[in-house]
A and B are shown apart, each in its own frame.
Chain A
Amino acid sequence: MTKNILLVGVGGQGTILASKILTLGLQKANYDVKMSEIHGMSQRGGSVTSHIRYSEDKVYSPVIEHGQADVIVAFEKMEALRYLDYLKVDGKVFVNDYEIPGMPVTSGQAEYPQGIIEELKRVADTTVIDANKEAEKIGSSKVMNMILLGTIIGSMNLTNIDWDQILTENVKPQFIELNKKAIKCGIELAK
């Protein structure tokens, strides 16, 4: 049975590193894995997505179908809503309680929409996480992405994979411990 994980956010939030770590772990656990990213304009404040699909059997498409994501992890709250039509009927949303306004808001053409969290909760099984606050507790707001990765690991029951090893192989030495803590924090928050 193929599992579908959708990571969404805004360029520069670290979705790409989080999805890289995730896919490497899944590969290590001998799953067939496919991952697809669209990030053409990401550097310039655009919306970014990573589709991750894995299975004990063969995975064909690297792209999740609408209505099929087991979990959506949103690094920014409006992005959670943007891609909510990818969520499965019994899928889960983990949403970072974090706002990045975007050009229409900063330029004064629009207001950042109110009631996003309420709308998410109305439609889907939603867990709100203040990843920025949690990250600062750990020691750096930069590990926000690893906390959110931790929520995926927790909610998809992937805790038996040796994530410490994957981090050791893929993160700069001085940040390994911080990232390990962040993933553990995310796993706890997903419980």
Chain B
Amino acid sequence: MSKQQLMTGNEAIARGVFEAGVRFAAAYPGTPSTEILENISTYKEVLAQWSPNEKVAFEAAYGASLGGARSFASMKHVGLNVAADPFFTVAYTGGNAGLVVVTADEPGQHSSQNEQDNRNYARHAKVPMFEPADSAQCKAMTKFAFEMSEQHETPVLIRVTTRVCHSKSLVELEDRVEKEIVPYVKNAKKYVCVPANAIIRRGEVEKRLDTLKEYSNNCEWNYIEDNGKDVGVIASGMAINYAKEVFGSDVNYLNIGFSYPLPMKLMDSFLKNLKKVYVIEENDEYIEDAVKMLGYKHICFGKYAPDESRFLPAYGELTSDVIRKAVNGGKGYVASFDRSKVLGRPPALCAGCPHRGFFYELGKRKDVVVSGDIGCYTLGFAAPYNAMDFNCCMGASVSGANGMQKVLNMVEGNEKRVVGVLGDSTFFHSGMTSLLDIVYNKGNCITVILDNRITGMTGHQQNPGTGFTAQGEPTEIVDIEGVVRALGIKHVRTIDPNDLTLMRETLDWAIALKEPSVIITRYPCVLKKMSAHDKNEWPQMYSSKCTVDADKCIGCKLCLRSGCPAISVKDKKAVIDKTMCVGCSVCKQICPKDAIN
């Protein structure tokens, strides 16, 4: 194997974790961070686990660090919201062996519900932070973060963005350095966060920050490239690369790779000889605010110009052409062509998706409000189902439905029922506590758990219901129906969602009940690699394909309401694409003329 390898940022972080001698890593999947733990799980020297959610992952990594092993957790940006509670307090205690956390942010929101800038978490929690700009830095900074974590007794945050995670560049591979387990020594004053102890640790945090402020001014990660110009660029993360494409050697650069605490003295010395400075950073005005605080607002062009007019866009990726447009109006030639010949390609539920039957039936009902969640099934909001009213974050479907149903029940004559919809992995993530709220607080909304036997949207990660760990070891299969009953729900039905009659009758049953109910639609994702257990439960899964009897088809297009990408209508007859169809039979059940076999 060549020592130099093309790697994505995610692969490089995983490699850094391996080389740093880490023994424990935990994560919950989420774009663009998912491949970090997937890659770590291929190193047998590291115990890698998918946790039910990010808070659990971070806490497990914290415990592992206290146990004396270098430990790691990764998550997408909104995942750190879930893990924020322990993150803020572990900032006070630090670990025993090194503890490093990755947050993968999404400028441009390619696959996320918001665009929050998690650099603010570093400042907010007072945790040191790195911002790698390419894959080589991903590995180098990950490794160094463990050293810093141990030296300063603090968790360390690494902030990456989609383009850092998912772009490839060259990385030098090095060997793993084994780290002995650091003996755990009881130290309640440090680790038990009662107020009297925590306030003392609070002081330690400030001392540590003072040291790190000095470090930031003098470290290898923050450095000036002096091209002898009176115009400068300050940038961090991927934005450095975009800026260098635009400005070349026409400006001086201050590269910021260690960005909390910011190198204030270094910035001041860089800025004092400049007539103009561009601050190039994705998402918030994190560095820009600091430049202004140092008194350079009059020369600073970042998200705002000195006169406070908008300069760079407030949101979205700051790719080279976006920067160029702000700086000098753009580069010139861009082909102009007839855009009306380009149609969108909105994502659709796959042919054979087990969510199809459910959304087809739910979308027909006028007596429901649908509270959605985060997963493939969020696509239920779109045509032809239009079967979702709101969604916001993991688990909110259930708790939101409960709150809404309570208020609708206050309206005289209300007949609307609220249906919370979420997947199996999302239920384990944070739906369980919400369901408890319904039981405890006497709610009566309906919860539907779309159990497709895998974590689908992020690319098929194992979860507590699948029977395998992240590293492929067989484990307990947590029984969702058992959990639901144990939480106190009395009315539970587990059904096959591809049976439309059963699906419809089960919705009727739940809607008629005065008490809370749970419907579990249990059928594997069509893309799932079936386990022995699955094959035993579904021996006949999708063993035939559907075909249209053109003589019987009247071209009514009702089958298109299935939203299946395998069906279209040509010359007034339905056509099923054989390469896509798996024979789920949803269209066959919809057809009023029995024209589909």
Contacts and interface: CB of A to CB of B under 8 A. Distances in A.
Interface residues of B, number: 56
Contacts of A38: 110, 162, 166
A130 interface: no
| Main SS class of interface, B | loop
A87 B335 contact: yes
Contacts of B342: 78, 81-82, 113
A161 interface: no
Contacts of B341: 78, 81, 113-116, 119
B565 A119 contact: no
B568 A45 contact: no
Contacts of B110: 38, 40
Interface in A68-115: 68, 78, 81-82, 84-85, 87-89, 101-110, 112-115
Contacts of B31: 40
B167 A62 contact: yes
Contacts of B6: 23-24, 27, 33, 35
Interface residues of A, number: 56
A107 B563 contact: yes
B197 interface: no
A66 interface: yes
A85 B334 contact: yes
A183 B35 CA distance: 30
Interface in B229-279: 240-242, 244-245
A70 to B, nearest CB: 13
Contacts of B125: none
A158 interface: no
A7 to B, nearest CB: 13
Interface string A1-13: 0000000001000
Interface string B72-111: 0000000000000000000000000000000000000011
B383 interface: yes
B483 to A, nearest CB: 29
A168 B563 CA distance: 41
Contacts of B348: 44-45, 103
A140 interface: no
B384 A123 contact: no
B117 to A, nearest CB: 20
A63 B333 contact: no
Contacts of A56: none
A127 interface: no
B242 A43 contact: no
B475 interface: no
A27 B568 CA distance: 43
B242 A61 contact: yes
B209 interface: no
Contacts of B413: none
Interface of B: 4, 6, 31, 110-111, 134, 162-163, 166-170, 240-242, 244-245, 317, 319-321, 324, 331-338, 340-350, 376, 379, 383-384, 459, 527, 557, 560, 563, 565-569
Interface of A: 10, 23-24, 27, 32-41, 43-47, 59-63, 65-68, 78, 81-82, 84-85, 87-89, 101-110, 112-116, 119-120, 122-124
Given A37-B167, A108-B569, A113-B342, 15 more contacts: A27-B4, A34-B167, A34-B169, A35-B167, A44-B347, A44-B348, A46-B345, A60-B242, A62-B167, A63-B319, A81-B342, A85-B336, A104-B346, A105-B568, A119-B341
